[in-house]
Amino acid sequence: MKNGVVIVGAGHAGVQAAASLREEGYDGPVILIGDENELPYHKPPLSKTFIKDQQAKPQPLRGEAFYTGSAIDYRPGLRVERIDVGGRRLEISGGGVLPFERLVLATGARPRLLPLPGSELSGVVSLRSLGDARLIRELSAQSEEAVILGGGFIGLEIAATLTAAGRKVTLVEAVDRLLGRAVAPVIAGHVRKRLEATGVRVLTGTTIERLEGENGRVSAAITSSGERLPAQMVVIGIGVVPNVELAEAAGIAIANGIRVDQQMRTSVPEILAIGDA
Q: What is the pLDDT of residues 182-199, one digit of tens each?
A: 999 999 999 999 999 999
Greatest Cα pair distance, the chain, in angstroms, is 63
Q: Where are the domains of the chain?
A: 5-108+243-273, 111-236
Evaluate whether 5-108+243-273 and 111-236 have a shared fold.
yes
**Under 8 Å between Cβ of 89 and 98:** yes
Beta bridge partners of 15: none
135: Cβ contacts below 8 Å, ≥ 6 apart: 125
**Under 8 Å between Cβ of 40 and 62:** yes
How would residue 2 be classed by pLDDT, with cut points 50, 70 and 90?
Answer: confident
How would residue 52 be classed by pLDDT, with cut points 50, 70 and 90?
Answer: confident
pLDDT at 118 exceeding the cut of 70: yes
Q: What is the mean pLDDT of residues 228-243?
A: 96
Beta bridge partners of 242: 109
Report the percentage of the chain scoring pLDDT > 70: 100
Output the pTM of the full model.
Answer: 0.91
What's residue 53's pLDDT? 84
Q: What is the pLDDT of residues 58-87, one digit of tens each?
A: 999 999 999 999 999 999 999 999 999 999
CATH of 5-108+243-273, one of 3.40.50.970, 2.60.40.3140, 3.50.50.60, 3.40.50.1100: 3.50.50.60
pLDDT at 1 exceeding the cut of 60: no
Amino acid at 191: V
What's residue 193's pLDDT? 97
> Residue 195 burial by CB count (10 A; 0-12/13-18/19+): exposed, middle or buried?
buried
What's residue 77's pLDDT? 95
CATH number of 111-236: 3.50.50.60
